[in-house]
Structure 1
Amino acid sequence: MGLQKHGGGGTGAEEAVPADSYTDLNARIIDQWIDDGWQWGTPISHERYEAALAGDWSMVLTPTREVPRSWFFPGMRGKRVLGLAAGGGQQMPIFAAMGAACTVLDYSEKQIASERVMAEREGYEIRCVRADMTRPLPFEDGEFDLISHPVSNCYIEEVLPVWRECFRVLAPGGRLLAGLDNGFNYVVDDDEERIVRGLPFNPLRSPSLIPERELAEWGMQFSHTLDEQIRGQIQTGFRLLDLYEDTNGEGRLHELDIPTFWATCAEK
C-alpha cells in the first residue's frame, strides 16, 4: 500500500486518557514500531544535543526538509513550547537546548518514555502529558507561545478540532508549526507506480482499505485535504505566514520529486 509509517514524538507524566478507540489502537501500534526501531521514535544523540546547545541545530516537521529558522522566534529562551503529538526525543530536546520551557503531549506511552529518558540523560526539564489529541487539550487558554506539530494528524479522522484547540492554547502572537500529509501517498500502490484508489482514505468508513491483518504494519491512517489541513487553520483564526512542500525521502515518488507533505507556519 502507498501508506507510510511516520510521526513526529525528564519528569513524571500527567494523563488524560479516554476510553478505548481507534486512537488507542494506533498508540499501541506505534509502541510496537518503537520496539522495532522506528526512525521517528529514536531520540537524538548526545552529540547532537551538545551541538544544539552550541547553536548548531536543525529540525524537521516532514521527512527531509529542514524547518527555516525564520519560523522560530528570534529568542527562544523562556518561550513556552508545546510539542503536539511530538514525542520520541527528536524535536523537544532541540527546543530545550534553545532554552524553551517544554511540554510534550503524545498518546504513545513509549514516545513519552523516550522524552523522559532524553531529559534525564541531558539534565533538562520537560513536562510530559499522555493524552489523545482528538480530545480537548488539557491546557489553559493562551498557555503556549509556540506549538510544534510534526506529521501525525494522518492518524486521526478529524483535523479541524485540533486546529481549534491549537488556537485556544496559544497566546496572541503565538505560532503553530505543522507538518502535514497531502494525501498523495494514499492513492498509489506499494511500488508507487500506479493510481489504485481514490480519496478520501478513511478505513473507519471503508474497512477494506486496511485489512485487519495489515493494521499492525500501517496503523489506522486517514487522508486529509488542503481544505482541512491549511484552509482549516485559516478558518480557525490563524494567519498563514509561510509554507513549503516535501517528499517521502525515499521511494519512487521521492525519486520523481513528487511532494507528499506540506509544512506550515501560522500565527495567532
Structure 2
Amino acid sequence: MDNVFDQVEKNIDNLVINNADWTASATKEALDSARKGNLVLNFYDKRVPDEWLSNIRGKKVLCLAGAGGLQAPLLACAGADVTVVDISDKMLDKDRELAKSENLSIEIVKGNMCDLSQFSNDTFDMVINPPSLMYVPNLDVVFDEVYRVTKSGGEFIIMAPNPINYLCDWVDTEDGGYYKAVHKMPWCSKDYDDSDWIEYGHTMEEYLGGLLKSGFVINGYKECQREDITELMFMVKARK
C-alpha cells in the first residue's frame, strides 16, 4: 500500500471529484458579508464564536489542512493575511479559483500538516485547523509544528470528532436498532476493513493532553451534538 498520506491525498481528491457536501466553497453572500465585518466560520451545525475571531483584520492566519475555498477566502475577505496549507491539490484548486475570481491575496501551499518546515518560527498570529486531524496517526507531530510556527500569544483553533464517533457500531434489531460501544481507543479504520479509506479515532488525551504537552494553554472549548448521537464534535482554542 502507498504511504498513508499518499492515500489520504487520493481519498480527499476523490471526495472533491464526487462533490462531497463538506467540499463546498464559500458562497458569494458569505464572502461579501465577511468584507463588511460579519465573518462567519461554521463549526458543523454551529459557528466559531465571534469573540474567537475578533480583531482578525491584519493578522497572519494559517488555515492548516483547510483548503476547499471556504475558511481561507472568508478570512481574507475579513482582512486577514492568509496562508492555506493542504495535502489535496483539488481542494487547493478551490482556493485558487476563489482567490482569482474575488481578487484575494492568499498564499496557497501544497503540503502536509505534519511538516511545516517551509515556515519560520513565530510566523502566525492564529492557526485554524478545520476537521482533518482524523487523517493523522500522530497528533503530537502536528501540535509541535503548530506551536513552533505560532507567535507568542498567538492562538490555535482545532475542530475534531469526539472519540464517541469511533467507539460504537450499529446493531440492527426488530425495533429499529441501537448503537453499542464495541471499540477501544485509539482506533484506526484499517484495523476493521480493507478499503482504501484511512481514518484515525483519537482519544481526548491525545487531543487535549497533546496540546498541553506541546506548550499550549487551553482557553476555549465548544461542542456540537449533531442529529446522530455518535456525531459529537468539539472545538478547542489554545494559546501559546
Which deviations, in whole Å up to 9, do the C-alpha atoms of 1:34-54 show, x marking residues without a partner?
Answer: 111112211111122111111
- The equivalent position to 2:137 in structure 1, one of 157, 165, 169, is 157
Check the 8 A contact 1:146/1:175 in 2, yes or no: yes
Alignment of 1:30-41 (within 5 A): 30-41=12-23
Which deviations, in whole Å up to 9, do the C-alpha atoms of 1:168-196 show, x marking residues without a partner?
Answer: 00011110011122221112225762324
Check the 8 A contact 1:80/1:144 in 2, yes or no: yes
The one-letter amino acid paired with 2:187 is F
Aligned to 2:174: none
Alignment of 1:32-71 (within 5 A): 32-60=14-42, 62-71=43-52
What's the offset of the Cα at 1:78? Answer: 1.4
Aligned to 1:241: 219
Aligned to 2:180: 194
In structure 2, how many angstroms separate the alpha carbons of the residues matched to 1:200 and 1:99? 39
Q: Which runs of 5+ in 1 are unaligned?
A: 1-19
Aligned to 1:231: 209
Check the 8 A contact 1:27/1:108 in 2, yes or no: yes
Which deviations, in whole Å up to 9, do the C-alpha atoms of 1:196-229 show, x marking residues without a partner?
Answer: 43322124xxx441322xx3xxx20001111110
State whether structure 2 residue 69 is matched by structure 1 residue 86: no
Greater strand fraction, Structure 1 or Structure 2: 2
State whether structure 2 residue 162 is matched by structure 1 residue 176: no
State whether structure 2 residue 194 is matched by structure 1 residue 211: yes
The one-letter amino acid paired with 1:41 is T
2:180 is paired with a residue whose SS is: coil
The one-letter amino acid paired with 2:105 is E
Count of aligned positions: 233
In structure 1, how many angstroms separate the alpha carbons of the residues matched to 2:122 and 2:22? 29
What's the offset of the Cα at 1:149? Answer: 0.3
Aligned identity (percent) is: 27
The one-letter amino acid paired with 1:45 is T
State whether structure 2 residue 200 is matched by structure 1 residue 222: yes
Check the 8 A contact 1:163/1:232 in 2, yes or no: yes
Q: Which runs of 5+ in 2 are unaligned?
A: 172-177
1:86 is paired with a residue whose SS is: coil
Check the 8 A contact 1:179/1:261 in 2, yes or no: yes
Which deviations, in whole Å up to 9, do the C-alpha atoms of 1:239-267 show, x marking residues without a partner?
Answer: 111101112x343x1xxxx6622111111
In structure 2, how many angstroms separate the alpha carbons of the residues matched to 1:264 and 1:89? 22
In structure 2, how many angstroms separate the alpha carbons of the residues matched to 1:137 and 1:118? 26
Q: Any runs of at least 4 consecutive aligned residues in structure 1 with deviations exceeding 3 A, and if so which? A: none
2:62 is paired with a residue whose SS is: strand
2:154 is paired with a residue whose SS is: strand
Compare relative contact order (CA 8 Å, sep 6+) and give the higher one, 1 or 2. 1
Which deviations, in whole Å up to 9, do the C-alpha atoms of 1:134-156 show, x marking residues without a partner?
Answer: 23442110111100001110011
In structure 1, how many angstroms separate the alpha carbons of the residues matched to 2:117 and 2:24? 25
TM-score (norm 2): 0.91
What's the offset of the Cα at 1:116? Answer: 0.4
Deviates more, 1:146-155 or 1:192-201: 192-201
In structure 2, how many angstroms separate the alpha carbons of the residues matched to 1:190 and 1:118? 40
TM-score (norm 1): 0.82
1:261 is paired with a residue whose SS is: strand
1:193 is paired with a residue whose SS is: strand
Deviates more, 1:150-159 or 1:130-139: 130-139
In structure 2, how many angstroms separate the alpha carbons of the residues matched to 1:149 and 1:137? 17
In structure 1, how many angstroms separate the alpha carbons of the residues matched to 2:191 and 2:149? 37
Deviates more, 1:172-181 or 1:48-57: 48-57
| Alignment CA distance shift 1:113-1:77 (3 Å) | same
